[in-house]
Structure 1
Amino acid sequence: MADTMQLSKDEIVAASLRKMQTELSAARMPLREAVAETCRILFAFGHDSGLAGQITARAEAPGTYYTQRLGLGFDEITADNLLVVNEDLEVLDGSGMPNPANRFHSWLYRARPDLNCIVHSHPPHASALAMLEVPLEISHMDACVLYGQTAFLEKWPGIPVGNEEGEIISAALGDKKAILLSHHGLLVAGASVEEACVLGVMFERAARLQLLAMAAGEIKPIPPELGREAQRWTSTQKRFEATFAYYSRRARRESLLDPATVG
């Protein structure tokens, strides 16, 4: 006789979340390796745009963070060629220079001590929405990890290399974890590298779904209580870790199949 068929949905959800804490497992990478792997994952999911975009994560010393070296694409980043910089973008470890646009990351880390990793990229579908000055809409179950977490910067402040842009973007993000920057791209941030990576991949997928839906008709909103329920369901650290591990396996398989990577 089944023991769970009479349980309420809330009871089943709570029991499943508890089970995920012990049964859903994925080996976590060291921080430096996870940042580099995030770059490669985002490349595999179409986030590359030449030298544009930055992935950063708080490093071990206060006021410092990891980032990639300017001049390398997302697909070329390794743990060995990452830089450690301070808030003034002075290189403390590694060779080369960081992207000057990293300055707004320093502002975000100051404003949000709960955030430990920032992903900023210019993938095509999010960039297309940015060109339209249209906010991201979360209206599909798959994208609900971002439900209630998206902000919108309607006016483009220009290239984000000054302190003004740092103040503007950090204020626009507020207490959210994701933002669409008009005429620019996406930014997501998480408490962990795994979370930020997953949010970045899902942001671009949500933008693609939105453009497809807009071409067909009017997007219908989902009930707020169900959106919040789905956001809580998909937003556990264990789930982020498992999803990140899958993205990593997928990116590595695809790189092996790409003729450009074969010697």
Structure 2
Amino acid sequence: MRPATTRADAVEQLIEVGRLAVERGLVLASGGNLSARLPGEGDFVITGTGTWLDRLTPADFSVMSPDGEVVGGAERPSTEWKLHQRTYRVRPDVHAVVHLHPQHAVLVDALGHPIRLLSLDHAVYVRSIGTVPYFPNGSDELAEAAAEQAREHDCIVLSHHGCSALGEDVRMAFRRAMNLEEAAVATYRMLLLGDTTTAFPKGVRLHHE
């Protein structure tokens, strides 16, 4: 999946990510929402309200301005549009936001344990994890709290809700979401074994493969 060069490319990539996210159990039914914008553009595309991520078509996307106005596409954007808008506002380097409901990430966080990065991929792609306490979905409080965490982290766990994964393109945002959940699964298994300390070694120089 190469970086999108047109808005239509970005939409097609989000459609593919939606299908894969459901296929891999990272979200169910009409949960989750996806967005993307092109480098240099303020407007972004986002899945419409009530859409099922494994059944997306180009008609299911709204085009929104940086101020949160619908300027094209589907009339009703996701109720979580503020989560995406606020993140883009504080992170000009981010061009895709993937909001999913990964079960293990939500569970480990709800149990009061930090998600530990175990593998090289976790350390390279997730790097660090922000957390946000529970706020109602679609609220200004949730959007603002997530955006504040996005200043320092590319993966954010929204307590009792889901996650927000950011990337310079759609591919990277989804890669981070997958690695976040894999790290959460590893953490859950380590907790079952009674381990509360094992993690990727600190101070190791990391390189993208």
Cα distance per residue 1:41-62 (max 9 Å; x no partner): 1111112233221111115783
Assess if the C-alpha contact under 8 Å between 2:43 and 2:66 holds in 1: yes
CA shift, 1:104, in A, is: 1.8
Shift in Å at residue 152 of structure 1? 2.2
Q: 1:68 aligns with which of 44, 47, 72?
A: 47
Count of residues in Structure 1 that have an aligned counterpart in Structure 2? 204
Inter-CA distance 62–141: structure 2 relative to 1 (3 Å threshold): closer
For structure 2, list consecutive stretches of 5 or more residues without a partner in the other structure. Answer: none
CA deviation map 1:159-204 (0-9, x unaligned): 1323332221111232221111222211110011110011111111
TM-score for the superposition, normalised by structure 1 = 0.70
SS of equivalent to 2:115: coil
| Contact kept in structure 2, 1:59 and 1:84, CA below 8 Å | no
Which residue of structure 1 aligns with residue 81 of structure 2?
102
SS of equivalent to 1:50: coil
CA positional deviation for 1:80: 3.8
The 1:37/1:132 distance shift into structure 2, 3 A limit, reads same
Corresponding residue for residue 146 of structure 2? 169
* Preserved CA contact (<8 Å) 1:36 1:78: yes
Equivalent position of 1:191 in the other structure:
168
More helix, by proportion: 1
- Aligned 8 A contact 1:130 1:184 in 2: no
Query: Amino acid of the residue matched to residue 161 of structure 2?
Result: H
Q: Offset of 1:27 from its aligned partner?
A: 5.9
d(CA) in 1 for partners of 2:177 and 2:86? 19
1:208 corresponds to which residue? 185
- After TM superposition, give the deviation of residue 110 of structure 1 in Å: 0.5
Mapped contact 1:178–1:186 kept (Cα < 8 A): yes
The secondary structure found in structure 2 opposite 1:179 is: strand
Q: Provide the C-alpha distance between the structure 2 equivalents of 1:103 and 1:215, rounded to a whole number of angstroms.
A: 37
List aligned pairs for 1:136-147, cutoff 5 A.
136-147=115-126
Percent same amino acid at aligned positions?
25
1:225 matched to 2:203? The reply is: yes
| Residue matched to 1:23 | none
**Contact in 1 for aligned 2:97/2:173 (Cα 8 Å):** yes
Report if aligned partners of 2:126, 2:176 keep a CA contact under 8 Å in 1: no
Aligned residue type for 2:138: V
TM-score (norm 2): 0.86
Amino acid of the residue matched to residue 179 of structure 1?
I
Q: CA deviation at 1:131?
A: 1.9
2: CA distance between counterparts of 1:101 and 1:129? 23
User: Structure 2: how far apart are the matches of 1:149 and 1:134?
Assistant: 14
Distance 1:28 1:111 in 2: 21
Q: Contact 1:57/1:118 (CA < 8 Å) preserved in 2?
A: yes
State the structure with more CA Rg. Answer: 1
Work out the CA distance in 2 between the residues paired with 1:28 and 1:102.
22
Pairwise CA RMSD = 2.2
C-alpha distance in structure 2 between counterparts of 1:101 and 1:147, whole Å: 22
Q: Separation in 2 of the partners of 1:86 and 1:56?
A: 12
